[in-house]
Structure formats: structure tokens, C-alpha cells
């Protein structure tokens, strides 16, 4: 695998994540799509670090993982809250406020 | 390492260290304290923010910390002062209302405000991309919890979900964009990243920069990434909106300043067109969408979108004068927007415009203060909002953006129309419920601080302009 090839994989993964985040109607589905985007970020960072012999990218990837975990922990708590108040986690149902 | 060397390295972060110490104390005390005594925690949070503010003014933190990842200068000091005041206003708003509304959870409320303020504060001097994104997340994640604070309110959960999902996409986009730029430059220093991106402009670097810009756009809530803003404001508890509406927006702009103005100006010049487009769209759409709202929180949310558009224009121009006008605008935005949302909070109720009916008769003082804030939002002379707009328009005119100034001035007249709808409800309509509105002491103090800011700076803008110019000189040589 060369650097451009690895970056392409990451780019495709990121695009898939964006597509999923915009089209999914289930809150967990959207969160999984966001995870895909976050994984694309990490592949990118690690690939750059590997092919340019830098450690900064690896460090950045570790921080990026920690940030994603923090975000997902809060996100799942809010989805549970959504389920408790509505008995459903379809996000198009969660639009009672006026546009 | 001698103690002196440690201090030289930490001095730029002295105010942030005060904040961290206060944060940990409030956290520990919250866990150990019996439920009845938790009111002290709010006072602790307030004392922390005031101490941090004093440390900032007295110590004037300057220099590099942790290698070249953090730099204290006049710019960082200026925006930190804005963030601390914003945090203190939100703590004051929640001090007494949380005692009556959620007594067992009040420690957490103040803790989240402190954590988010610490994130903004670190952002103010971040010169390394890892520091920048970690600080940005430290600011952002507590906001999700604050937005979901009313656990049994369906609207609150919905608003939090929208903030969370757009925030998650935005974080991933910022990480992808900045991570790619950092990988291409083989460095995590923002300065080197910016210079590398301009010296070797590839389509890949351009796309990465655009994705990162879109990510920050989500956080700022600029059109077309603004859909979550009104829903989150409407659903969040009103003391939290005082915080949400001010700090995070200014912090998003500060993050953009750090990235775009690092290095030799090339990255800013390259992003000129998209930034001006986003600014124009936000200014127009924010004002037009605000026209037709029946809820004051939503109306003010759209008006905030329009104000962020104006500030984004100042950022796009990026000269020393423009950054000074941006900094002046952030102070105007702080006092005015925190002020209106504090009044909405003091009034209670659902925030509909109808709930303002006859406020002048129910509580004359509150009505007058709201009028002052609304006039400042509309840009009426001798309120701080007027000077902020005038300053920005003068700079924009000098930069050859006359068309934007004319457009913005016309739309501002439109803005007056919807701000005065609230004023008309307060002064002309008969009250549905004639009982006087009682405002708790801490909220009243916070409103008084905002009025003092709006009128005081409105009458004597000179010292603040001078401070903004000094701060701008630190970031644009």
C-alpha cells in the first residue's frame, strides 16, 4: 500500500460517513456514521505518520480517538434520554418545534 | 528544572490554571457535599471565574508554554476576559434559579460552565493543532449536556440531539481537515501548517481546508449550517442559553483566527471568497428568518446568526483594523446577547413573544433594560452595538466592500423592525397576567452588569477600541 492509496481509502470512508450522517433516520445510525468519519480521520493521521516517519501524527491520532470516545459517551446518554422521553429514536419524529 | 523555569513555562497559562483548580475543587466538593448545602458550589464557581479574571489582568500572561504549542499575548488576554465574563454571567443566571429548580444537580451545572469556559480559554492561545482541537472539544462536549439539562422536557431532548449530531459531524470534519493539513505539512504547528498549505497548494489540501471550514461553520451556526441553532436555544434551559448564545460563537471565531491568521496570510487570502459568501448569507438569511418568528428565543437565535455573519466578515478581511473591529464586536455581542437572554430567563415562561406582553407594567425596570439591549442589537446610536457596527462598516468600506456595507445597513433597518416587535409587546400590549415579575438577586446583578457594559462602552468606546487595537496587533503583525 502506498500513501495515496491509503489516503483514498480514508477519503472514501469519510465520504460514506458523511452520506450516512445525512441520510440515516435512526439516531444510532447517525452516530455510527459519525464514527466512520472519525475512523477515516485516524487512518489519515496514522498513514501520514507512517509514510513520513513522524510521531506527531501518531500522537494526534491518539488524541483524536480520546475525543471521539468522549463524544460518543455523551451522545449515547442523550440517545437513551431521547428513548426515555419518546420511546423511539427516529430523528425525524424528534421535530416537534416549528421550522 | 528550577522552580523559576517551571513558572516561566506556566505563566502564560496562569489564568487557565486558576480555572482548572477551581473546576477540580467544585467537582470534588460536589461529590462529597450533602445535598442540602450545594448552593455554595455556585459561589465557588463564580469566585473561580473572578479570580481567573483578576489573575489575567494582574499577571498579563505572555510568552510560550509547552514548547511552541501555547502562546499568551494581548489577543489571548482580550478574548479570555470576554469568555470569563460570559461564563460568570451564566453562573449568576443559574445561581438562584438552579437552587429552586434542580437543587441536587446545581453543582454539575456550574461544573459544566467552568469546563466549557476552560476549553475556550485554552483555545485563546492555542498555536498547535492538537491543543486547538482538544480545547475546542473541551468547550463543546459540556454544551451537549447543558442542552439536554431538562431531562423530562421533550423539546429539550430534541434540541440537545440536534446540537449533538451536528456537533459530532462538525468535530469529525474539523479533525479530518486539520489532520490532513497537518499530515501534508508533517507538523502539528498551525503556523507551519498554514505556510505549507499556501506554498504547496494541491487540490487535496484545498478540499481538506474546505471540510475543516464547514466543520467550524456548523459550530458557529452560520448559514447554511444553522438549522440546529433555534431548536437548541428553544429547548435548552434559559440560564444555559445565556452561555450557549455567547461564548461558543466567539470561541468558534477565535479558532478560525488561530488557523487562518497563523503563518504568512496565505491561508486567509485563499479562503477570502468562501468566508465572504458565508458572511453575506448568514447576515441576510439570519435577518430574514428572524422576521417571522413567534418565539423570542428563536427570534434572537436567528438574530445571533446574522451578528455572527458580520463578525465573520471582519475575520475574512483579516487586517489589523479588521481584527480590532472583530474584537470590539465580540464585547458588544457578549453584553447585548447575554443581556437579552438573561431577561428572557428572568421573565420565565416559554419565551414566546406573547409572554412579553405588558412587561413594562409588570416590572418597569426589566422592561427598560430589555429595551436597552434591543436597541443595542438594532444598532441605535450610543449603545455599544452601534459602535460595533460602525467600526466594522468603516473598516469594510476602506477594504472596498462598500456593497456589503450598503446591504448590511439596509438589512439592519429590517432588524429594527423585529426587535421592536418585542418592544411593542412590552410597552403597548396589555399584560395577560398582571402579577409583577420577580427577578432573583443574582440574575438582577447579571443583567445590571450587561446594562453597564452596553451603556458604559456605548458612551465611552475609546478605551475598549484602544485595547482591541493592542490585542489585534498581537495576532496580525
Please give the ipTM for the structure prediction: 0.94
Q: Which CATH number does the domain housing residue A72 bear?
A: 1.10.287.3510
Q: Which residue of B has its CA nearest to A13?
A: B176
Q: Chain B interface, mutation test: which of A68, A94, A96, most B Cβ atoms within 10 Å?
A: A94
Stretch 26-85 of chain A: residues touching chain B, C-beta under 8 Å? 27, 30-31, 34, 37-38, 40-41, 44-45, 47-49, 52, 54, 56-57, 59-60, 63-64, 67-68, 70-71, 74-75, 77-79, 81-82, 85
How far off is chain A from B184, nearest CA to CA, in Å? Answer: 7
In terms of pLDDT, which residue wins out, B41 or A55?
B41
pLDDT at A93: 57
pLDDT at B136: 94
pLDDT in tens, chain B (477 residues): 677 877 778 888 999 999 999 999 999 999 998 887 888 999 999 999 999 999 999 988 888 988 889 999 999 999 999 999 999 999 999 998 888 888 888 899 999 999 999 999 999 999 999 999 999 999 999 999 999 988 878 888 888 988 999 999 999 999 999 999 999 988 889 988 888 888 888 888 889 999 999 999 999 989 888 888 998 998 888 899 999 999 899 999 999 999 998 887 777 777 888 899 999 999 999 999 998 888 999 999 999 999 999 999 999 998 899 999 999 999 999 999 999 999 999 988 788 888 888 888 899 999 999 999 999 999 888 899 999 999 999 999 998 899 999 999 999 888 888 898 999 999 998 888 888 888 899 999 999 999 999 999 999 999 999 999 999 999 888
pLDDT at A99: 45
Burial class (CB in 10 A: 0-12, 13-18, 19+), B80: buried
Q: Please state the pTM of the whole predicted model.
A: 0.95
Closest partner residue to A56 (CB to CB) among B148, B187, B204 is: B187
Verify whether the Cβ–Cβ distance B161 to A78 is below 8 Å: yes
- At B240, give phi and psi (nearest 5°): -70, -30
In terms of pLDDT, which residue wins out, B432 or A79?
A79
Q: How many residues does chain A have?
A: 99
Q: Which residue of A has its CA nearest to B143?
A: A74
Verify whether the Cβ–Cβ distance A27 to B161 is below 8 Å: yes
How far off is chain B from A69, nearest CA to CA, in Å? Answer: 11
Residue A99 domain-assigned (yes or no): no
d(CA B371, CA B348): 17
**Residue A66, domain extent:** 3-86
pLDDT at A97: 61
Give the pLDDT band (50/70/90) at residue A2.
confident
Q: C-alpha distances in angstroms, B197 versus B6, B161, B202, B252, B379?
A: 34, 35, 8, 21, 39
**Nearest in space to B345 (alpha carbons), one of B429, B241, B450:** B241
Closest partner residue to B169 (CB to CB) among A34, A68, A98 is: A34
* A13 contact B CB<8A: no
* Count of CA atoms in the C-beta half-sphere (13 A) of B202: 9
Q: Which three cell numbers stand for residue A44?
A: 489519515
Stretch 206-225 of chain B: residues touching chain A, C-beta under 8 Å? none
Residue A36 domain-assigned (yes or no): yes
- Number of domains making up chain A: 1
User: Contacts for A18-24 with beta carbons within 8 Å, 24 or more apart?
Assistant: A18/B169, A21/B165, A21/B168, A21/B169
pLDDT at B351: 82
Residue A97 domain-assigned (yes or no): no
Verify whether the Cβ–Cβ distance A54 to B186 is below 8 Å: yes
Q: Which three cell numbers stand for residue A76?
A: 449515547
Verify whether the Cβ–Cβ distance B234 to A97 is below 8 Å: yes
How far off is chain A from B130, nearest CA to CA, in Å? Answer: 6
Closest partner residue to A85 (CB to CB) among B137, B157, B234 is: B157
Q: Chain A interface, mutation test: which of B115, B150, B165, most A Cβ atoms within 10 Å?
A: B165
How far off is chain B from A11, nearest CA to CA, in Å? Answer: 9
pLDDT at A95: 62
Q: Which three cell numbers stand for residue B235?
A: 429547548
Is-contact B161 A91, C-beta < 8 A? yes
How far off is chain A from B376, nearest CA to CA, in Å? Answer: 27
pLDDT at A25: 86
Closest partner residue to B134 (CB to CB) among A37, A41, A63 is: A63
| Chain B residues near residue A47 by CB distance under 8 angstroms | 183
Task: Check residue A2 and report its DSSP letter.
Answer: -
Residue A95 domain-assigned (yes or no): no
Count chain A–chain B contacts defined by CB atoms under 8 A.
132
Verify whether the Cβ–Cβ distance A41 to B172 is below 8 Å: yes
| Chain B residues near residue A37 by CB distance under 8 angstroms | 169, 172-173, 176
Verify whether the Cβ–Cβ distance A56 to B188 is below 8 Å: yes
- SS3 of residue A90 by DSSP: strand
pLDDT at A94: 57
Verify whether the Cβ–Cβ distance B161 to A82 is below 8 Å: yes
Closest partner residue to B151 (CB to CB) among A40, A81, A98 is: A81
Closest partner residue to A75 (CB to CB) among B159, B164, B188 is: B164
Verify whether the Cβ–Cβ distance A60 to B129 is below 8 Å: yes
Task: Check residue A59 and report its DSSP letter.
Answer: H
Amino acid at each position: 500500500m502506498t500513501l495515496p492509496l491509503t489516503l483514498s481509502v480514508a477519503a472514501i470512508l469519510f465520504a460514506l460517513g458523511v452520506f450516512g450522517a445525512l441520510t440515516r433516520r435512526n439516531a444510532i445510525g447517525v452516530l455510527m456514521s459519525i464514527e466512520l468519519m472519525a475512523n477515516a480521520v485516524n487512518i489519515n493521521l496514522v498513514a501520514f505518520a507512517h509514510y513520513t516517519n513522524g510521531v506527531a501524527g501518531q500522537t494526534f491520532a491518539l488524541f483524536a480517538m480520546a475525543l471521539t470516545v468522549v463524544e460518543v459517551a455523551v451522545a449515547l446518554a442523550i440517545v437513551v434520554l431521547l428513548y426515555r422521553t419518546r420511546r423511539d429514536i427516529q430523528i425525524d419524529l424528534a421535530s416537534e418545534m416549528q421550522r | 528544572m528550577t522552580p523559576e523555569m517551571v513558572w516561566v513555562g506556566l505563566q502564560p497559562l496562569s489564568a487557565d490554571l486558576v480555572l482548572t483548580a477551581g473546576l477540580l475543587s467544585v467537582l470534588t466538593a460536589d461529590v462529597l457535599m450533602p445535598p442540602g448545602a450545594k448552593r455554595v458550589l455556585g459561589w465557588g464557581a463564580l469566585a473561580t471565574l473572578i479570580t481567573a479574571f483578576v489573575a489575567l489582568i494582574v499577571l498579563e500572561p505572555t510568552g510560550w508554554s509547552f514548547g511552541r504549542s501555547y502562546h499568551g499575548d494581548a489577543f489571548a488576554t482580550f478574548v479570555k476576559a470576554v469568555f470569563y465574563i460570559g461564563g460568570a454571567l451564566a453562573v449568576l443566571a443559574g445561581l438562584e434559579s438552579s437552587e429552586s429548580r434542580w437543587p441536587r444537580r446545581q453543582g454539575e451545572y456550574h461544573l459544566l460552565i467552568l469546563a466549557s469556559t476552560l476549553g475556550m480559554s485554552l483555545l485563546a492561545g492555542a498555536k498547535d493543532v492538537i491543543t486547538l482541537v482538544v480545547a475546542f472539544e473541551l468547550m463543546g462536549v459540556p454544551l451537549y449536556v447543558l442542552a439536554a439539562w431538562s431531562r423530562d422536557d421533550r423539546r429539550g431532548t430534541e434540541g440537545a440531539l440536534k446540537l449533538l449530531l451536528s456537533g459530532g459531524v462538525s468535530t469529525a470534519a474539523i479533525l479530518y481537515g486539520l489532520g490532513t493539513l497537518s499530515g501534508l505539512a508533517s507538523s502539528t504547528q498551525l503556523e507551519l501548517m498554514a505556510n505549507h498549505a499556501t506554498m504547496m497548494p494541491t487540490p487535496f489540501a484545498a478540499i481538506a481546508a474546505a471540510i475543516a471550514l464547514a466543520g467550524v461553520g456548523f459550530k458557529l451556526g452560520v448559514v447554511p449550517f444553522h438549522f440546529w441553532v433555534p431548536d437548541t436555544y428553544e429547548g435548552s434551559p434559559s440560564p444555559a442559553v445565556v452561555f450557549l448564545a455567547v461564548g461558543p460563537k466567539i470561541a468558534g471565531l477565535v479558532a478560525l483566527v488561530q488557523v487562518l491568521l497563523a503563518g504568512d496570510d496565505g491561508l486567509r487570502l485563499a479562503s477570502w471568497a468562501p468566508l465572504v459568501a458565508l458572511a453575506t448569507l448568514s447576515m441576510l438569511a439570519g435577518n430574514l428568518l428572524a422576521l417571522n418568528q413567534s418565539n423570542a428565543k428563536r427570534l434572537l437565535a436567528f438574530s445571533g446568526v446574522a451578528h455572527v455573519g458580520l463578525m465573520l466578515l471582519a475575520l475574512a478581511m483579516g487586517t489589523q483594523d479588521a481584527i480590532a473591529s472583530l474584537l470590539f464586536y465580540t464585547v458588544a455581542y457578549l453584553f447585548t446577547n447575554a443581556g437579552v437572554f438573561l431577561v428572557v430567563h428572568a421573565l420565565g415562561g416559554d419565551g414566546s413573544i406573547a409572554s412579553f406582553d405588558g412587561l413594562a407594567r409588570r416590572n418597569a425596570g426589566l422592561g427598560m433594560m430589555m429595551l436597552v439591549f434591543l436597541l443595542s442589537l438594532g444598532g441605535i446610536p450610543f449603545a455599544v452595538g452601534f459602535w460595533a457596527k460602525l467600526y466594522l462598516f468603516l473598516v469594510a468600506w476602506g477594504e472596498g466592500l462598500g456593497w456589503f456595507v450598503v446591504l448590511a445597513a439596509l438589512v439592519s433597518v429590517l432588524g429594527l423592525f423585529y426587535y421592536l416587535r418585542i418592544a411593542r409587546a412590552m410597552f403597548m400590549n396589555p399584560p395577560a397576567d398582571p402579577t409583577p415579575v420577580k427577578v432573583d438577586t443574582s440574575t438582577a446583578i447579571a443583567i445590571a452588569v450587561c446594562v453597564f457594559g452596553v451603556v458604559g462602552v456605548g458612551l465611552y468606546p475609546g478605551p475598549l477600541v484602544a485595547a482591541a487595537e493592542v490585542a489585534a496587533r498581537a495576532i496580525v503583525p
